[in-house]
Structure 1
Amino acid sequence: MKYIVIGLGNFGSSLAEKLTKMGNEVIGVDLKMDKVEALKDKITHAICLDSTDINAVSHLPLKDTDIVIVAIGEDKGALIMTTALMKQLKVKRLISRAVTPLQQMVLQAMGVDEIIHPEEETAERWAKKLNLHGVVDSFELTGHFSIVEIKVPKRYEGKTLQEIGLRRAYNIIVLTTIRMIPNENMLGVTTQESEVQGVASSETVLHPDDIMVLYGKNSDIKKLLLENKADN
């Protein structure tokens, strides 16, 4: 995978470094040369430029990049301007940082669906989420076992947990499912809020756009994700 991480503060630099260690190609971007210098030997490329300048960012390989992450923290104006510019340039997938509820509402109004809350979520958690296709969120319990949220693959839609047999096929337990409910925020923008459906049973039916909360061995979860990659 190819990533561009814009904003190399504590969160952005840590995320860029972890994604690089996972075998991805990562370009780090920051306006401050000292931050670029500190990271240049730890990621694929580190570039010093103004991410709010369309002429500057036009030299970045945006069309060949799978995910652009705007991780700017200190300059809130630059965060919004950079995000707007990435939307204008139609990058494939855009993830942006929000520190305050107001920032989140502005980003949602701009059509940014994936938002990072670095005060609540670690770079380690986001790196794992981005590195595994289909993962919505994850929480590692030990070095070998995790609880992971994944989108319901199309082949499972309309089926019960008994019918898909994840325990038999992958030795994975489905703890619960989450339904996404439309909700309108203060700016009148419709967003999706999660609603936990209770403890899962063999009769639980999987609906389109549902999220399954899984528990299992990391290697078994990765096998499930890889076998269903073409589905999502």
Structure 2
Amino acid sequence: MKKEFAVIGLGRFGGSICQTLSDQGMEVLAIDMDEDKVNQYANIASHAVVGDTTDEMVLKSLGIRNFDHVIVAIGDNIQASILTTIILKELGVKKITVKAQNDYHEKVLSKIGADKIVHPERDMGKRIANNIISNSVLDYLELSDEHSIIEVIANSRMAGYSLIELDIRAKYGINIVAIKREKEIIVSPQASELIQEGDILIIIGADSDIDRFQTKLYSR
């Protein structure tokens, strides 16, 4: 069965989620107070409606509690974001993801029970910064305040050695969970797997351990 999603707030962030979910063939209800934005997504989402989601009756009339996942992507109006989230929780929505504007907003969202809180601008800033400071880092994804996943290009220092010879887990406390090699993806590679220069290593671990790994194997 297809999952049903509702996206509240059709700014750049909410609009991109709406577009991507729709492209994946999901059922998407798009909601915004701005009629122009709703019209923009009328032919993209399964349904697009103008509505004030701080009004409980509006959300009830849309049958919002029947959706599998509601994404609150309201832009600058923190009060509207918080009130909408509270109503969604009270109506018994299964899963709620909310865009936070700042740390204060995140704390409030946590207290009122948002299932997942995202900081798209902050997180993208961290990804860009990590890409800028290291030519080896292709991508960076923060899992928590202290743990991340990164993609790095295997250099000549690692080439020709197996994972067990490099002993990365014991030395640095991080795990190589997959290797991208041209069109091939090796998931949970064996200890005997030989690293080739240019391989893309997908690494998970504590930020401090990842930093030690990069300093040791990538600094000149």
TM-score (norm 2): 0.58
Q: Distance in 1 between matches of 2:150 and 2:48?
A: 29
Q: Residues 138 and 37 from structure 1, CA distance in 2 versus in 1: closer, same or farther, beyond 3 angstroms?
A: farther
* Cα root mean square deviation, aligned: 3.3
Q: Residues 69 and 173 from structure 1, CA distance in 2 versus in 1: closer, same or farther, beyond 3 angstroms?
A: same
1:1-232 residue pairs with structure 2 within 5 A?
Answer: 1-121=3-123, 166-168=188-190, 175-177=203-205, 196=207, 198=209
Q: Distance in 2 between matches of 1:88 and 1:108?
A: 15
Q: Deviations over 1:78-115 (max 9, x none)?
A: 11110111111111101111111111111111122411
- Name the aligned partner's letter for residue 32 of structure 2: D
Verify the 8 A CA contact 2:65 2:91 in the aligned structure 1. no
Percent identity over the alignment is 34
- Name the aligned partner's letter for residue 16 of structure 1: C
Tell me how far 1:2 sits from its aligned partner: 1.3
Gaps of 5+ in 1: 126-135, 142-160, 179-195, 200-232
Q: Residues 34 and 63 from structure 1, CA distance in 2 versus in 1: closer, same or farther, beyond 3 angstroms?
A: same
Higher relative contact order (CA 8 A, sep 6+): 1
Tell me how far 1:176 sits from its aligned partner: 3.1
TM-score (norm 1): 0.55
- Name the aligned partner's letter for residue 11 of structure 1: F
Q: Distance in 1 between matches of 2:13 and 2:81?
A: 14
SS in 2 for 1:119: helix
* Bigger Rg, which one: 2
Verify the 8 A CA contact 1:176 1:197 in the aligned structure 2. no
- Name the aligned partner's letter for residue 98 of structure 1: A
